[in-house]
Amino acid sequence: MNAKALVCALLSVLISSAAERLEVVICNTDHVPESVLASAELNAGEIFRDIGVDVLWSSCTRWNASPSAERLFILRIRSHTKPASRSGVLGMTYFSSGAPPVYADVYFDNVENLVSAYDVGPAQVAGYAIAHELGHLLLGPTHTGYGVMKAVWSGRDLRIMGHHGLTFDKAQRASIRRQLQVGVRGSP
Ligand SMILES: [Zn+2]
């Protein structure tokens, strides 16, 4: 291998191992405590960092669109569940035909209801709820029977959350990174 080929090979390794970036605007429309929300963002960020994705958070009130804004999602933090939503639901992602999804909600009343029944903090569960809805924005409406994208978390899942043990699986990780590499809105 000549010197030029070696440089290209090294660059290719560096590029393939670099973290993808996901930009999320958080709209705390119902004034959920900022300290809990900040911890939830940290927890959600950690779940994505485990799969090689850096999440850049900004708020509706301090929103600076960046050059990579085509990868940007908007997440509303609501204090109360939408009346039309089924009981106990922690969040909702809004899908519409013909356009990639951008908006999702997380419902803090149901997060707190769930937390009160188990020995886990609201920021931990809220972080997973945020990661789950961002997962829908990237992966579509499908659920899996385990992990971050499970439809309903059990008491055992909540205990695992306490140890940061729920994750995206290998296929989800590959799909999320592929979506972010091509640009979410530019993908088919
Ligand atoms: Zn879901």
Q: How far does residue 65's CA lie from ligand 1's centre (Å)?
A: 27
Q: How far does residue 89's CA lie from ligand 1's centre (Å)?
A: 9
Q: How far does residue 132's CA lie from ligand 1's centre (Å)?
A: 6
Whether residue 53 contacts residue 177, with contact meaning beta carbons closer than 8 Å, is answered with yes
Q: Examine residue 112 and state whether it is found in any structural domain, yes or no.
A: yes
Does position 8 have pLDDT exceeding 60, yes or no? no
Q: How far does residue 136's CA lie from ligand 1's centre (Å)?
A: 7
Q: How far does residue 144's CA lie from ligand 1's centre (Å)?
A: 9
Q: How far does residue 143's CA lie from ligand 1's centre (Å)?
A: 6
Q: How far does residue 34's CA lie from ligand 1's centre (Å)?
A: 24
Task: Retrieve residue 9's tokens.
Answer: 């090979």
Q: Which helix (H) or strand (E) holds 7?
A: helix 3-17
Look over the chain and give the mean of its residue pLDDT values, rounded to a whole number.
83
Task: Please give the pLDDT value at position 63.
Answer: 63
Q: Examine residue 13 and state whether it is found in any structural domain, yes or no.
A: no
Task: Summarize the confidence of residues 101-106 as an average pLDDT.
Answer: 93
Task: Please give the pLDDT value at position 183.
Answer: 64
pLDDT per residue over 136-181, tens digit each? 999 999 999 999 999 999 999 998 988 888 999 999 999 999 988 8
Q: How far does residue 12's CA lie from ligand 1's centre (Å)?
A: 35
Continuous H helices in 22-121:
34-49, 108-117
Q: How far does residue 19's CA lie from ligand 1's centre (Å)?
A: 25
State pTM to two decimals. Answer: 0.83
Q: Examine residue 111 and state whether it is found in any structural domain, yes or no.
A: yes
Please provide the DSSP assignment of 121-142 as one string: -HHHHHHHHHHHHHHHHHH-S-
Q: How far apart are CA 150 and CA 103, in angstroms?
A: 20
Helix %, strand %, coil % for the chain, to 5? 45, 20, 35
Bridging pattern class, strands 72-78 and 103-107: parallel
Q: What are phi and psi of 57, to 5 degrees?
A: -100, 140
Q: Examine residue 74 and state whether it is found in any structural domain, yes or no.
A: yes
Does position 84 have pLDDT exceeding 80, yes or no? no
Q: Examine residue 6 and state whether it is found in any structural domain, yes or no.
A: no
Q: Quickly count: other Cβ atoms within 10 Å of residue 62's Cβ.
A: 7
Domain span at residue 106 reads 19-181
In the chain, the number of structural domains is 1
Q: Examine residue 5 and state whether it is found in any structural domain, yes or no.
A: no
**How would residue 1 be classed by pLDDT, with cut points 50, 70 and 90?**
very low
Q: How far does residue 69's CA lie from ligand 1's centre (Å)?
A: 24
**CA 98 → CA 10, 71, 121, 188, distances in Å?**
40, 17, 38, 10
Q: How far does residue 15's CA lie from ligand 1's centre (Å)?
A: 32
Q: Examine residue 75 and state whether it is found in any structural domain, yes or no.
A: yes
Whether residue 127 contacts residue 165, with contact meaning beta carbons closer than 8 Å, is answered with no
Q: Examine residue 66 and state whether it is found in any structural domain, yes or no.
A: yes
- What sign results for the dihedral spanned by CA atoms 32, 37, 40, 46? positive
Does position 122 have pLDDT exceeding 90, yes or no? yes
Q: How far does residue 1's CA lie from ligand 1's centre (Å)?
A: 49
Q: How far does residue 17's CA lie from ligand 1's centre (Å)?
A: 29
CATH code where residue 158 lies: 3.40.390.10
